[in-house]
Amino acid sequence: MSENPALTAPPDHATTTPVLEVRAITKSFGRVTALRDVTCAVREGEVTCVLGDNGAGKSTFIKTLSGYHAPDSGEMLIDGEPVRFSSPRDALDRGIATVYQDLAIAPLMPVWRNFFLGSEPTRLGMIRTREAKRIVVEEMAKMGISVRDPDQPIGTMSGGERQCVAIARAVYFGARVLILDEPTAALGVRQSGVVLKYVMRARERGLGVIFITHNPNHAYLVGDHFVLLKRGQTVSDMTREETTLRGLAQEMAGGAELEALEHELGRAAQTA
């Protein structure tokens, strides 16, 4: 049971209202039910990990949370109030920011231009360039990354740093809930570490984080509670106290299925 010293006590579930909550949402595409009765909540200063294998419904779940799809049934609540998002922009305006795996950046553009893209600070129609650059340096510094030159093309940054810029951007523009779509999937061990540290910073700053991943190791490092999706359904919802890394991995791989696989592979190895 590796206790992570970075983890402070999560907020008391009994007393705080989740900043974002979905209750029993269902979403079908034609005859395929991508999500069925999925329930999940995130409070301020808390990381909710949504785990699932490929095809478990993670993408549909993210797109529903971020306003791309409207759920067929079920409820979405912000601060306990029922809401319906009409568009991703609508979700963003309500403080639900999504950072996608295929990072939304233009690689040849400077860091500061990417940071402010779509929300440029202007005076008389002109971008306040100096202010924009200063803010980028400050915001990144708050998250522990030193940007010496905001004019650097963002494509020259490492994958982890680019994720961090995308997260810093969301935080700066007033996100209350960050939805991170497999932010560590394409990264090496060390770069993943950078992003995970950054997730913890966001959590310390009081944001609710929904961290979507298929990596139980990464999830267990930062998560306060864990929602497991399988074939579009919630198969378990555990707090950190209720599970262990091994338990999580077991659960995710489907427990019995994993044992069967181990057995099968073991036998294959013997016969080879």
Partner 1 sequence: MSAAAPASAPGAPPAPPPSDGDKDDRLVSVGRVRRLLMTPEVGAGSAAVLVFVGFTLVSPVFASQAGLANFLDPAATMGIMAIAVALLMIGGEFDLSTGVLTGSTALVTALAVTELNMNVWLGILLSLGFALAVGAVNGVMVHLTKLPSFIVTLGMMFVLWGLNYAVTQRLTGQVTVSGVRQYSGYDSARALFGSAVGPFQVSLVWWLLLTAVGAIVLLKSRWGNWIFALGGNSDAARAVGVPVMRVRVGLFMTTAAAAWLVGTLTVIRYGNATVTSGIGLEFYFIIAAVIGGCLLTGGAGSVIGASIGALIFGMVQQGMPLVGLPSEFFRTILGLVLLAAVLVNLWIKKRAMKVTS
Contact pick of 84, 89, 134, 246 for partner 1 (by CB under 8 A): 89
Number of helices (H), then strands (E), belonging to the chain: the values are: 9, 12
Q: Between 77 and 173, whose beta carbon lies closer to partner 1?
A: 173
Classify residue 223 by its DSSP letter.
-
Q: Between 74 and 88, whose beta carbon lies closer to partner 1?
A: 88
Interactions with partner 1, residue window 228-257 (CB under 8 A): none
Contact pick of 20, 25, 105, 168 for partner 1 (by CB under 8 A): 105
Q: How distant is the alpha carbon of residue 139 from its chain centre?
A: 19
End-to-end CA distance of the chain: 36
Does 131 bind partner 1 (CB under 8 A)? Our answer is: no
Choices 21-29, 45-53, 103-111, 205-213; region in contact with partner 1 by CB under 8 A: 103-111
Does 148 bind partner 1 (CB under 8 A)? Our answer is: yes
Does 152 bind partner 1 (CB under 8 A)? Our answer is: yes
Interactions with partner 1, residue window 177-196 (CB under 8 A): 186-191, 194
Does 95 bind partner 1 (CB under 8 A)? Our answer is: no
Helix 256-271 and helix 245-253: axis angle, to 10°?
A: 80
Contact pick of 24, 77, 83, 109 for partner 1 (by CB under 8 A): 109
Where b means 16+ CB within 10 Å and e means fewer, 25-41 reads: bbbeeeeebbbbebebb
Task: Report how far residue 239's alpha carbon sits from residue 226's, in angstroms, rounded to the nearest whole number.
Answer: 6
Contact pick of 159, 217, 231, 247 for partner 1 (by CB under 8 A): 159
Exposure of 82 in the CB half-sphere (CA atoms within 13 A): 6
Size of the site for partner 1 (CB under 8 A): 46
Nearest to 67 by CA among 84, 87, 81: 87
Task: Report how far residue 148's alpha carbon sits from residue 237's, in angstroms, rounded to the nearest whole number.
Answer: 42
What is the 3-state composition of the chain as percent helix, strand, coil, each rounded to the nearest 5?
A: 40, 25, 35
- Token pair for residue 100? 């996608």
Contact pick of 35, 51, 62, 145 for partner 1 (by CB under 8 A): 145
DSSP calls for 7-32: -PPPPPTTTSPPSEEEEEEEEEETTE
Contact pick of 20, 34, 103, 252 for partner 1 (by CB under 8 A): 103
Does 8 bind partner 1 (CB under 8 A)? Our answer is: no
Does 111 bind partner 1 (CB under 8 A)? Our answer is: yes
Choices 7-15, 47-55, 148-156, 264-272; region in contact with partner 1 by CB under 8 A: 148-156
Interface contacts to partner 1, rule CB under 8 A: 88-89, 92, 100, 103-109, 111, 113-114, 116-120, 122, 125-127, 129, 145-149, 151-153, 155-161, 186-191, 194
